[in-house]
Structure 1
Amino acid sequence: MKHNTGKGIFAIMVLFFIITTCSAVESPVSIGSAPVGMMVSAAGSEAIAIPFPEPTPSGESSASYTKLELTPSYMNFVVEPGEKKEMTVTVRNRDTKSVHVQPIVRQQPYGGPYVAENSWFVITPASADIPAGESAKFSMTTTVPEDTVRGSYSSMLTLTDETYPTPYPQPFPNYIHTLGLSVSVASSPVILISTPFISDQLESGGEYSYTIDVKNKGKTPLALNARIGDESYPSYGSYGPQAPPLDAKSFTVSGPFNLPPGQNGTITLKVNVPQNASGYFNGNLDLGIDDPAIRMEENRIQLNFQIWKQPEGGFSKKFMVTTQEPLSLELSSSMYMMMPMTETGTPRDIPRREPSFDATLTGPDGNANLVLVEKVIKGSVNLGNDPMQTNGDRPGQYQESGTQYIFTYSAQGRPGEWTLAVMPRNTQSFEYKISQGGDNPSPGFPWFTLPSGQTGNTTRK
């Protein structure tokens, strides 16, 4: 009750202050020679004059500015470090009098880290007097230093010192006759990396090894200091964020610390997955390459691992067979990847841990004679998404985005209840298909077929 009373008293006081202590004069007045836009009076005190900002002096309109026409009004230099490039700008005097033009490169404030240095540009001639109705050409030559980091740099060219008037001081003059400058430093990395990322499925308690090929295409030695990156993306479980299943101690990195010009090197990454680990690990392998042509994200190999623990038992499925007829069982699993491939079409630097299955069929008479009659390997291949990150000197290499393994089994069925039992190997997901009747219910597309009777089980590497 006291709290509500206090709030009411406070509101009455504020309203009383607004009504009784403040008033404004609607029409502007002047005190002396200074224009005043408002008179504010406070209770018990004299009126206070608040002037309007000084307006732009009469006569300073766009018609009084020098009339110059710039062609082009924007320049973009695409150069490599150490390269020189020249462009021309034409300035036409559309005024009725001669104009003195002096091009000057000026850095704009708050331009960020990618600001073109004034020393990169040379302008000839340094100045010119352009008669009314005439034109003059200025040659702009830019040279980027050898150690310039790749990126887009900006600056500005002014032709005169004329500026737009402003009612308030500005941190940087608002020049009238300007030309936008951009320098795109497009350098090719001197080091080639075989793959931009590694993605795989890992089983808890297992050991895995990966290799990354690197090549120095430069003229000087390159220092490498490969290590696991300090930061990793968070992993989420059923109850929110959780600790990642792998840390820096789970990895062992070895490889060259110095790569001579024109030489190849191999970096080896070994992963020791802890027992009972599960979940996702999203991190990176920082190669520690000292090359200004390679940005930070290109200096890293993304690591995406899905870790699981193999169940003790297998998957089971019960189904009924009503007639005496052949049974066909199809088990399939897909492996998704995006890895460069060699000239022969085989994936580069990826473990060949093909998925496999231990499958049994149990019917009214016990275990059936389950025979593997066909194994199909299907894949999807493109010509590469990023030639700069592929291994080799030519643009574009084959990249395989996924491989599917299909195993087809056959057995003789009879009426009764049947049970399918499957123990998957080297895969976290699979599909099954049970067909009844027919000689070949699931022909598929046998791009690569193993002879009949050969088993599809593989041992884990």
Structure 2
Amino acid sequence: MRKSTALKAASQFFSLLLCLILLPAAFAQPEELNGTATYENGTYESNIVSGLEEIYGNYTVHDINPSYYSVYLMPGENETFNVSFRNEGNENLDIAPKVVAPSDDYYYDVVNESWITILPENVTVSPGVEQNFTIEVSVPEDTETGDYEAQIAFTNDTYPEEYDTPVYIQESAEGSDDSLSAEGYSDPMYVNAMYLCVSVPVRPKLELQTSYISDTIEPGKEYVYAVKIKNVAGKDVTIDPKVTKYEVYDYSFEELAFSDDTIEISAPSTIKAGEIANMTIRVPVPENASGSYDAYIEMNADGKENDGSVPQISLSFTVDKQPTTPYVRTFNTTTTDPIMLEVSAETSGQDDSVRISPEIEKPSFEINLKCNSSPVNLTLVKTSESGAVYSQGYIFPVWATEDSSSYQSDSREYTETYRAVGAIGTWELTILPKNTNSFDYSITVGESK
């Protein structure tokens, strides 16, 4: 079953959370484990069931920071981090850290010890002294995508095989029998170890100019969009882009504005290594279309199911006719101060680069004003245009922008300001927007400061 990139990304995100939150609990520090834990200041045995020492044994718990660490590396990449070990015992310790398999049932594959380099390899640590270790994780080029886990053990102390879960003193109901679980672990559970999670993502094959196309379209018109595709796989990649519905439950029972086969996609069947190609999406909107349409374009790279190495393009269209009747607003005045009107509309900058036709026109407004049912002359005081501008690469990748442009615009706002002679009475303002389906307005009685 195919899944969208968004779902795959969410899955990887929650896998990482599982590394960071759930699994480290299995390697918690002394207060969460049974046994006689020896510290500098004495023996911790306040809530351990009497007589369990023979089952769980004695061990010294040393301070390891961090107790877990996660890395996100592509094949061929590496990362270095530091871990401190403090000797909490009363004797010198010869420490030679080693990579070992986790003691619990594996959620992921086990990290190969050849990926890990630990320096110093061995060192003597005196009581109360903190020793720093440098750990380098190097993921080989041929590593398969997935999540990997391991422990880095600093001492050879392990819990007995019978160890399962902490047992604490509780008042038992009369006649009940408190017993210990004897289920052991397939691998030793090290007392003084940190947990390591290595996530190896899929190496991308393609990059897209944009991950979505969102637009308001009119019935009876044809819209054309162009999206650039870059091959970053290092080899030729075949594509066969298809419109695909989201695999989610829809309880609204609302039909889509038009069918999937309404959308026409044209793109080269093969994109050479390093090449940038164009994909054209054509949307001839039916005359009777209304409502909205949501789907995505699956690239079907190399004829295989998407493993996360190929992004998708989300499609979101709202079918809406331009208003033919104006918006009406009535208000009253008690002074003869002048009337100031301001009307504005905002457009998205994404459409300028992606939508080829029809050309996007600036919003404008047909405004009329009456006072006590009589028309009032409006004087256009000013028009203004404002927008958000970013350096190249903020909105679209650098390779997808024109060489001559060092900036990209995210959105634009167009504003028209009018003045009318004031009078006491009831006013009626009508606004008919053009080239936009939404706008903001303000009415000010009296000169603005």
**TM-score normalised to the size of structure 2?**
0.60
For each residue in 1:3-26, what CA deviation from the matched residue of structure 2 results, as whole angstroms up to 9, or x when unmatched? xxxxxxxxxxxxxxxxxxxxxxxx
For 2:398, give the aligned amino acid. Answer: G
**Equivalent position of 2:386 in the other structure:** 378
**Equivalent position of 2:209 in the other structure:** 194
Inter-CA distance 399–96: structure 2 relative to 1 (3 Å threshold):
same
**Equivalent position of 1:302 in the other structure:** 314
TM superposition shift of 1:106: 1.2
Matched, 1:118 2:108: no
For 2:364, give the aligned amino acid. Answer: S
Structure 2 runs not aligned, ≥5 long: 1-48, 164-179, 401-405
By relative contact order (CA 8 Å, sep 6+), the higher-ranking structure is 2
Matched, 1:82 2:76: yes
TM superposition shift of 1:227: 2.3
Inter-CA distance 324–75: structure 2 relative to 1 (3 Å threshold):
closer
**Equivalent position of 2:439 in the other structure:** 430
Greater CA drift, 68-77 or 251-260: 68-77
**Equivalent position of 2:286 in the other structure:** 274
TM superposition shift of 1:265: 1.4
Equivalent residue in structure 1 for 2:141, among 114, 132, 146: 146
3-state SS of the aligned residue for 1:169? coil
TM superposition shift of 1:231: 0.8
TM superposition shift of 1:311: 4.5
> What is the alpha-carbon root mean square deviation over aligned residues?
5.4
2: CA distance, partners of 1:317 / 1:68: 74
**Equivalent position of 1:5 in the other structure:** none
For 1:390, give the aligned amino acid. Answer: F
For each residue in 1:115-163, what CA deviation from the matched residue of structure 2 results, as whole angstroms up to 9, or x when unmatched? 34436536789x9898998999999764424355777643224454732
Structure 1 runs not aligned, ≥5 long: 1-53, 341-346, 444-461
For 1:162, give the aligned amino acid. Answer: T
3-state SS of the aligned residue for 1:249? helix
3-state SS of the aligned residue for 2:109? coil
Matched, 1:204 2:186: no
1: CA distance, partners of 2:381 / 2:371: 20
Equivalent residue in structure 2 for 1:224, among 224, 227, 239: 239
Matched, 1:163 2:169: no
3-state SS of the aligned residue for 1:348? helix
**Equivalent position of 1:287 in the other structure:** 299
1: CA distance, partners of 2:335 / 2:97: 97
2: CA distance, partners of 1:353 / 1:232: 36
Contact 1:338 1:402 in 2 (8 A): yes
3-state SS of the aligned residue for 1:299? coil
TM superposition shift of 1:81: 0.9
Inter-CA distance 370–295: structure 2 relative to 1 (3 Å threshold):
farther
Contact 1:116 1:154 in 2 (8 A): yes
1: CA distance, partners of 2:93 / 2:372: 108
Inter-CA distance 248–411: structure 2 relative to 1 (3 Å threshold):
same
**Equivalent position of 1:457 in the other structure:** none
Sequence identity (%):
26
Matched, 1:176 2:197: no
2: CA distance, partners of 1:103 / 1:402: 55
For 2:411, give the aligned amino acid. Answer: G
Equivalent residue in structure 1 for 2:397, among 391, 398, 402: 391
For 1:349, give the aligned amino acid. Answer: V
Contact 1:235 1:279 in 2 (8 A): no
Alignment of 1:44-83 (within 5 A): 59-60=54-55, 62-63=57-58, 65=59, 73-74=67-68, 76=70, 79-83=73-77
Matched, 1:357 2:365: yes
Inter-CA distance 139–378: structure 2 relative to 1 (3 Å threshold):
closer
Matched, 1:402 2:397: no
TM superposition shift of 1:405: 1.8
Inter-CA distance 406–99: structure 2 relative to 1 (3 Å threshold):
closer
For 1:380, give the aligned amino acid. Answer: A
**Equivalent position of 2:353 in the other structure:** 348
Q: How many residues align?
A: 370
**TM-score normalised to the size of structure 1?**
0.59
For 1:163, give the aligned amino acid. Answer: Y
For 1:154, give the aligned amino acid. Answer: E
Contact 1:105 1:118 in 2 (8 A): no
1: CA distance, partners of 2:140 / 2:303: 14
